[in-house]
Amino acid sequence: MNITYTSIYKTSLPVLVSLLMEYLIGFTDTAYLGRVGETELAASAIAGTYYMIIYMIGFGFSIGAQILIAQCNGNRQYKEVGKILSQGILFLLIIAAMVILFSSIISPIILKTIIDSESVLQTVLQYLDWRIYGFFFSFTIIMFRAFYIGIIHTSALMLNSITMVAINIILNYILIFGALGIPAQGISGAAIASVISEAVAVIHFIIYTQKNINPCRYGFKKRITVDCTILKKILSISIWMMLQHGLVFGSWFVFFITIEHFGERSLAITNIVRNISSFLFLFVQAFASVVSSLVGNLIGEDKSNSILYVCKKVIFLCYITILPIIILFVLFSSYILRIYSDNAALVFEAIPTLKVMLTSYLIAVPTFVFFSVVSGIGHAVASLSIAFISLVIYIMYVEAIGHFSSSVPLLWTSEHVYFSCVFILSLYHIHHWRMNLYQSRQKINH
């Protein structure tokens, strides 16, 4: 496997483009709903985060599958790669069906106990009534992404995401505001548009895979049935990743509920800043996900000594990509915020929060690169432990700030606290893993 700045960037770029395209789905939702009303904008923050808590459970499963796919690909066990993909899709479709069944019953009960505003509550439920059906498609998409990143064939992700976003943008406008004889659906229209665009993306992945991937090499022609052995192997890693990602977005939900108690204006500001933060995180996530895959392939090839060498290159590439964007956002804060809302008072109040959030990415870049190494080497329990300890500190910090102050910018400093904890714990674990690996090799040599 060739590890140069160029090869890493070429591998990362399609992942980045696909994530950017998908980000545009949330971006268009926020930008359009910000022009419908503050209630819709505030509700979309809670509804989106609630949806993402469940989504991240599936995403955590796909990360575990991606780690195994990368290791099997490095070992040239291609039939195993195909089995992991098919079993992963089958498992997540079953999970999606269960989520849809129970969500319609449980979600109103949960949300009613934690949301103060009745208007925000009803708007959140309107969104979720339609959005939950997207789990069938979004879970399938993340397994295809895990497959293509794991086999270092990331170019497959670009066209798929472009297609999905193009459809979503068009349908968002038609369904939210009403056009072509279709009545305005408001926030429900945003949910319907997302579900349809994800369904199209699944169809595209299936067609692309049939045309471009050798079915015999990966065993795709075989009949798909539940294989408990393969599922057990995936879950041995994925169960910890599922818990980890569920906890991460669960903590985000605590954050949003704390903000919701400050009022709809504070929640609207946080939703806008969160969307801008999500945009920046795409760059970090793209490079970090490639690190995880490269680490898995290096372990499969028995080249673990090259892992830190790869990390240094990825951190450098991520910084030179993201720093110019951060500087532009600082210099033109009001212009960036106006993309999301035409409310001048809202934009003015959001500027300090935006600047606080931007500084957190100076820590986030190395944090998530090293954190991806922990999961990439297959230490899923350690990865969960790092996330759990960091999130406990994060939630304690959020609750303490929320109790003594209603300052939104101050509450956003919780990002610095979380990233710093993950960074320190990840480096500590990697150092001990390398020491143990070195000692084991010394014993073998002697």
Q: What is the pLDDT of residue 190?
A: 79
pLDDT range class, residue 237, cuts 50, 70, 90? confident
What's the rounded Cα separation, in Å, for the pair 329 and 327?
A: 5
Asked if pLDDT for residue 432 goes beyond 90, the answer is: no
Instruction: Identify the domain containing residue 337 by its residue range.
Output: 5-445
Mean pLDDT computed over 18-38: 68
Domain count, the chain: 1
| Mean predicted confidence (pLDDT) in 324-344 | 85
- Is 99 in contact with 82 (CB distance < 8 Å)? no
100 or 153: which leads in pLDDT: 100
Taking the C-alpha atoms of residue 282 and residue 159, their distance in angstroms, rounded to an integer, is 17
Question: Is the distance from CB of 27 to CB of 275 less than 8 angstroms?
Answer: yes
The predicted pLDDT at position 416 comes to: 92
Residue 1 CA from chain centroid, whole number:
27
Question: How large is the angle between the packed helices 78-114 and 118-131, nearest 10 degrees?
Answer: 150
The residue count for the chain = 446
The residue among 168 and 19 whose pLDDT is bigger is 168
Average pLDDT over residues 418-445: 78
Give the contacts of 184 (CB within 8 A, at least 6 positions apart): 175, 176, 177, 178
- pLDDT tens track for 83-105: 888 888 888 888 888 888 887 78
The mean per-residue pLDDT over the stretch 139-146 comes to 88
Of these ranges, 159-173, 275-289, 353-367, the one predicted with the greatest mean pLDDT is 353-367
Q: Give per-residue pLDDT as tens, 44-55.
A: 767 777 777 777
Query: Which one-letter DSSP state was computed for residue 379?
Result: -
Q: What is the pTM of this model?
A: 0.68
Contact 136, 279 (CB under 8 A): no
Mean residue pLDDT of the chain comes to 79
* Residue 291, pLDDT score: 79
More confident residue, 192 or 221: 192
Confidence of residue 401 (pLDDT cuts 50, 70, 90): confident
Contact status, residue 321 vs residue 283, Cβ threshold 8 Å: yes
pLDDT tens column, 383-392: 888 888 998 8
Give the CA distances from residue 256 to residues 253, 364, 410, 446, in Å, rounded to whole numbers and listed in that order. 5, 20, 14, 56
The predicted pLDDT at position 22 comes to 67
Q: Is the pLDDT of residue 326 over 70?
A: yes
**Most confident residue range from 115-119, 338-342, 352-356:** 352-356
Pairwise CA distance, residues 316 & 190, whole Å: 37
The predicted pLDDT at position 444 comes to 58
Is residue 265's pLDDT more than 60? yes
